[in-house]
Amino acid sequence: MNTFDHMLYLLKTRGPQSAQTLAQLLGLTSMGARRQLEAAQEKGYTDFADVADKVGRPSRRWHLTAAGHARFPDRHADLTLQMITQVRALFGEEGLDRLITARERDSEAQYRKQVEQAPSGLVSKAAALAGAREAEGYMAEVEVQDDGSVLLVENHCPICAAAAACQGFCRSELNVFQRVLGDDCTVERAEHLLSGSRRCVYRIRPVR
């Protein structure tokens, strides 16, 4: 991955960043990072907002634009949308629900296999699930919280177009995660890309 693409990846996975922070992460000078950011801005991939800090002058935070996010592919988006439209036209909402249910069964079987092979413990199970999602292009990772909960963070949605056209896909994923991880935890969606967040986040809490 070259420096330019690495910079876009960091903005995708970490959210808005200052040029100074990106410089440290990329091993560049601050001027070098700004040049990369400005080059990306000229291409329409990045933009910035000046954020007021507690003290001193505002700090500039760079973020991806819609075009920048689009650099990370939505798998076969056009074909998927066409298929959803055709299924609706031919079989109605009931037919589309049957399609989602079939996908749900396949995904659950795949994820369950990964999770069952993981060491015992909520963090290990969540990490195994994140690994399965990472392989599908979700840029997934886990973050352990101080309260004992675990965040499953998905920085990208490779089926975003399909999920926007039919939110049953999102409902399906939440249900699958709960069943795969088991009854000793609860799974809730804390952030949702389709609701305006920059990513999807699922909070996994142990049942005490």
Q: Tell me the mean pLDDT per 10 residues along the chain, length 208.
A: 89 89 92 92 90 75 85 66 80 84 89 93 95 90 94 87 69 89 94 87 93
Q: Kindly indicate whether the domain formed by 3-69 is annotated with CATH number 1.10.10.10.
A: yes
133-190 pLDDT, tens digit per residue, is 998 888 999 999 999 999 999 998 877 766 666 677 777 788 899 999 999 999 999 9
pLDDT at 186: 96
pLDDT of residue 28: 92
Token readout for 35 is 């040049």
Please name the fold of domain 77-206: Muramoyl-pentapeptide Carboxypeptidase; domain 2 (3.30.1380)
Global model pTM greater than 0.85: no
Alpha-carbon dihedral sign for residues 111, 180, 203, 65? positive
74: its two tokens: 């939505």
Give the dihedral of Cα atoms 162, 15, 46, 38; nearest 10 deg.
-160
Torsion angle of the four alpha carbons 57, 45, 155, 17, in this order, in degrees rounded to the nearest 10: -20
The pLDDT of residue 198 is 87
**Domain span(s) for CATH 1.10.10.10 in the chain:** 3-69
Give the residue range(s) of CATH 3.30.1380 domains in the chain. 77-206
